[in-house]
Structure 1
Amino acid sequence: MRRVLLLALIALAAAPAALPARAAQVTQLIAEKAAADTGGAMPPAGRYDVTLTPGDVAEATLVSAFVIDRSTGQFAANVVTGAGETWRVTGLATLTVPVPVPVRRILPDELLTKADFTMVALPYRQLGSFAVTSLDRLQGMQVRRVLAAGRPVMVQSVTPPIVIGKGDKVSLEYRKGNMQLSAPGRAITSAEADQEVRVINLVSNRTVTGIARAAGIVEVSK
């Protein structure tokens, strides 16, 4: 008998104490449930913005049942309040992601800086696969097509900056071991940094191919 009592006391001490459930906003609970159901398909920095049908209960302790139409974001759920009551709630859960959008109209050939953009939460399903969602991917890029204020930037609308333009005067840098020579040239193609560019050597009048290293500098290996 004494041993049974001792075991019961040990089991009671090891059992976790029951904690009262804390109420939370239903919109928060639904957002967490929708994100959990999305799982690995959840985009980085994505979140659900939830709007409840007017008149639905605002606070609850848990979601006991949940179903959502992924194509529209419409959902229905059962939530349990702190008093133990189960309420049916409905509404709209929209998956959004923060997207950089221009703060002004930006013309072709301009170089982009972070100051040109602001971050706006937009519905993920409306963006398409070509929208740029990272501000870091736009920093220092050159505009190819006009960027409209307040609209997402498409990947095909920007390009790494051109450091050598067609017709530019350049310095051809020849390196071989410790020897370095230079000669004037004129570019007959354009190139981004570290891309191949064709240049006329103005001394020999021959066309050579080199690597655009910086504005006005072309490295030639032969």
Structure 2
Amino acid sequence: MHRIALIWLAALTPLTAQAQTAPAAPAADMVAVPVLDRAVAKGDLLSAGDFVEQEIPRAQLRAAPPLRDIVGMEASRSLAAGAIVRTSDVIRPQLVRRGEPITILLRNGGLSITTAGRALSNGAAGDFVRIVSLSTNRTLDGVVDGTGTVRVSPN
């Protein structure tokens, strides 16, 4: 019985060795992509200095956006060093954050009124957010106008 097992094992050994020494991907199948040079925390803004180019097999490339589409975006989750950043890993920079103080701005012609408020949701430039005015305690809807500033309509 042992003799049959040894013959069977000897027959499989070349196949196992062949599987372990699979040839590396040819240089033509490699593509240079930007990967993170350092770990990035959720909420950090990405800059061009955060990336280095690395050669990876074309088969591992899954719709990675060009570097110009990632720079200036905010990480929507923590990202490890060496990671390929995907579109789902980044969001537009959040200029207003839930619970933080904001300036409410109302413009009508030449008239401009500002008051203090608090954001009830996060928002990037141009996003609609709900806010509460601290002076009247009223909930309003507005558009994110800038960092910590929400514009409301005069109606």
Q: TM-score, normalised by structure 2?
A: 0.76
Which deviations, in whole Å up to 9, do the C-alpha atoms of 1:128-158 show, x marking residues without a partner? 23x23x1111211111222222221121111
Match of 2:56 among 122, 145, 148: 122
- Asked if the contact 1:186/1:201 (under 8 Å) is kept, the reply is yes
Asked if 1:150 corresponds to 2:82, the answer is yes
Match of 2:69 among 116, 137, 143: 137
Match of 2:29 among 84, 95, 109: 95
Displacement after TM superposition at 1:168 (Å): 1.0
Query: Using the alignment, how far apart are the partners of 1:113 and 1:160 within structure 2?
Result: 13
Displacement after TM superposition at 1:92 (Å): 4.4
Q: TM-score, normalised by structure 1?
A: 0.54
Query: Using the alignment, how far apart are the partners of 1:149 and 1:92 within structure 2?
Result: 25
Query: Using the alignment, how far apart are the partners of 1:114 and 1:171 within structure 2?
Result: 31
Amino acid at match of 1:145: R
Displacement after TM superposition at 1:126 (Å): 1.6
Bigger RCO of structures 1 and 2 (CA < 8 A, at least 6 apart): 2
Paired residues, what number? Answer: 130
Match of 2:121 among 174, 178, 189: 189
Amino acid at match of 1:99: V
Query: Using the alignment, how far apart are the partners of 1:92 and 1:106 within structure 2?
Result: 32
Displacement after TM superposition at 1:93 (Å): 6.2
**Percent identity of paired positions between Structure 1 and Structure 2:** 33
Write 1 or 2 for the structure with the bigger share of strand: 1
3-state SS of 2:81 partner: coil
Q: Which has the larger radius of gyration?
A: 1
3-state SS of 1:167 partner: coil
3-state SS of 1:104 partner: coil
- Asked if the contact 1:94/1:123 (under 8 Å) is kept, the reply is no
Write 1 or 2 for the structure with the bigger share of helix: 2
Displacement after TM superposition at 1:124 (Å): 2.4
Match of 1:171 among 83, 103, 106: 103
3-state SS of 2:45 partner: coil
Gaps of 5+ in 1: 1-90
Query: Using the alignment, how far apart are the partners of 1:93 and 1:106 within structure 2?
Result: 30
3-state SS of 1:170 partner: strand
Query: Using the alignment, how far apart are the partners of 2:122 and 2:60 within structure 1?
Result: 35
Gaps of 5+ in 2: 1-24
